[in-house]
Amino acid sequence: MDRRTFVKGSAAVVGAATLPRTPAQAQAAPDKIRFGYAITQSGPLGPGADSTTVSNYKLWNKLVNDAGGIMLKKFGKKVPIEMVAYDDQGKPDELLKLTERLIQQDKVDMVLSPYATHMNLAQAPIINKYEYPVIMTTATTNKTYELGPRWPYAFWNIAQPREASQPLSKAIADLKKQGKIKGRVAAIYPSVEYGVENNEAFLEAAKKDGLEVVFNKSYAFGASDLQPLIREVMATNPDAFLAFSYPPDTFMLTEQAQILGFNPQFMYVAIGGVFPQYKDKFGNKVNGILVYGPSDPKAPGMDEYAKAHRDLFKQEYEPGGVNVYAALQLTQQAIETVGEIDRKKIRDVIANTTFKTLWGEIKYVKQLNANPWAVGQWQNGELTVIYPADKAGAKPLLFPKPAWS
């Protein structure tokens, strides 16, 4: 017994002797709830991890503690939170080692998600082994459909390739049915996991919806010029153009399509299309462009969130990171429902509750978010949420995309 627990223990004995005993005093409340995460801080993924994930961890930490902490009803008091953070250098070995360090040495109460698909997947077995519930906020791969049930303590928050691609195919098919479009589709993708899987998922859906895919080609990730590829696309005269792109190519494509005067009526770019910098760079030319992984800026609470973010970091929030904040909110709700740090019970609450968050309603089915925001669109210089179309807050599609002016 170290000195502190001894002192606390003595205090409890004295308290028990002098006051009538109530359940709340049977056990002292913890003086802190500790959250731990290992995330990429050095290396090429560092900046992305910072803007999408770490910024939200810091913001949430501040806002929760400003409000006095997380309510633990078993002890009848609010308990402040504390973060333990490590740098995994983008290496899975480091992530595994540091996760064990968090759980075994630091004895944190909860673990938070790392950054990027492969790191989320790498951590899932280990948090499952130690029975720490974690909401994985940056993993998108077709494999989650089979892998989800394998690890009951891991939850998957964002739109997976099928959920992101099927609504696009359906939208084009609907436009074709209404006679607004011929349904000639061109799709390109970088040769990385994300690009390949989304492209495959789209082709599958397009086949089912009877679309004519007139062009389908990959390009090297990190390509420094996409004009030749865009020219090839233009030669096939498509009316719908989709790029399952990564941030650098998303920006490059949008710029080079303007230079070449490529004006598809239906245009989708993937990661990076929601960044505030995308709007800053292209101004109102972004109108009509469809993008991956949005959040609804009109959702209740978003104004306060945007302001708090601006106050703390002196820059605009990243819409793709709102799901991370939502995961933290629902973790807090789950802990408050349970009323103590009992990870088994917290896991069950997460698995069986419909949560109201900044990112809309979240409900997990087989640990997969049943209805995440998948596709957004820039309309009147603002990011809106479009698909899934039946989700509260969804706006109608703007069609056709205005020509570059």
Residue reference for tokens 């087989």: 366
- Candidate list 28, 71, 96, 302; residue touching other proteins; CB under 8 A: 96
**CB of residue 72 to other proteins, shortest distance in Å:** 27
Give strand pairing partners of 331.
Answer: none
Take residue 323 and report the two structure tokens written for it: 């799901």
- At 377 the three-state DSSP class reads strand
Q: Angle formed by the axes of helices 302-313 and 55-66, to 10°? A: 110
Question: Which range in 55-63, 85-93, 178-186, 389-397 contacts other proteins by CB under 8 A?
Answer: 85-93
Check residue 43 and give left, alpha or beta (phi > 0: left; psi -120 to 50: alpha): left
Residue 143 corresponds to which tokens in the numbers above? Answer: 């494999």
Least distance CB 41 / other proteins (angstroms): 4
Which of 362, 355, 323 has the alpha carbon at shortest distance from 336? Answer: 355
Phi-psi region of 241 (alpha: psi -120 to 50; beta: other; left: phi over 0): beta
Q: Distance between terminal CA atoms of the chain? A: 73
Which of 30, 80, 125, 400 touches other proteins (CB under 8 A)?
125
Q: Applying CB under 8 A, which of residues 5, 10, 27, 104 lies at the interface with other proteins?
A: 104
- Residue 93 binds to other proteins (criterion: CB under 8 A): yes
- Our finding on whether 137 is near other proteins (CB under 8 A) is no
Answer yes or no whether residue 197 interacts with other proteins by CB under 8 A.
yes
* Residue 333 in tokens: 């709700």
Indicate whether 90 belongs to the interface with other proteins (CB under 8 A).
Answer: yes
Stretch that binds other proteins, among 122-130, 176-184, 305-313, 363-371 (CB under 8 A): 122-130
Residue 267 to residue 269: CA distance in whole angstroms: 7
User: Smallest distance, Å, CB 193 to other proteins?
Assistant: 5
Q: How far is the CB of 8 from other proteins (least distance, A)?
A: 25
Beta bridge partners of 156: 136, 368
Confirm or reject binding of residue 122 to other proteins (CB under 8 A): yes
Closest Cα partner for 361 from 334, 384, 392? 392
Site for other proteins (CB under 8 A): which residue of 71, 192, 260, 308? 192
Counting contacts by CB under 8 A, is residue 324 touching other proteins? no
> Is residue 308 close enough to count as binding other proteins by CB under 8 A?
no
- The arrangement of strands across the sheet holding 110-111 comes to 81-87, 33-39, 110-111
What whole-number distance in Å separates Cα of residue 388 and Cα of residue 392? 9
Q: Which of 38, 397 has the CB closer to other proteins?
A: 38
- C-alpha 29/C-alpha 47 separation (Å) is 37
Q: Is 345 an interacting residue with respect to other proteins (CB under 8 A)?
A: no
Q: Supply the minimum distance, in Å, between the C-beta of residue 89 and other proteins.
A: 6
Cβ 317 to other proteins, closest distance in Å?
A: 22
Identify residues 7-46 at the interface with other proteins (CB under 8 A): 38, 41-43, 46
Alpha carbon distance 405, 285 (integer Å): 7
Residue 124 CB, nearest approach to other proteins (Å): 7
Residues in binding contact with other proteins, number by CB under 8 A: 40
Residue 109 interacting with other proteins (CB under 8 A): no
Closest by Cα among 162, 219, 210 to 184: 210
Told to check if 249 binds other proteins by CB under 8 A, we report no
Asked if residue 169 lies in contact with residue 205, where contact means CB atoms within 8 angstroms, the answer is yes
Between 41 and 367, whose beta carbon lies closer to other proteins?
Answer: 41
Phi, psi of 288 (to 5 degrees): 90, -15
Between residues 97 and 356, which has the closer beta carbon with respect to other proteins? Answer: 97
Per rule CB under 8 A, is residue 196 in the interface with other proteins?
A: yes
CA distance 191 to 306: 34
**Member of 12, 83, 85, 302 binding other proteins (CB under 8 A):** 85
Q: Given the rule CB under 8 A, which residues bind other proteins? A: 38, 41-43, 46, 84-94, 96-98, 100-101, 103-105, 117-118, 121-122, 124-125, 141, 143, 147, 191-193, 196-197, 200, 218
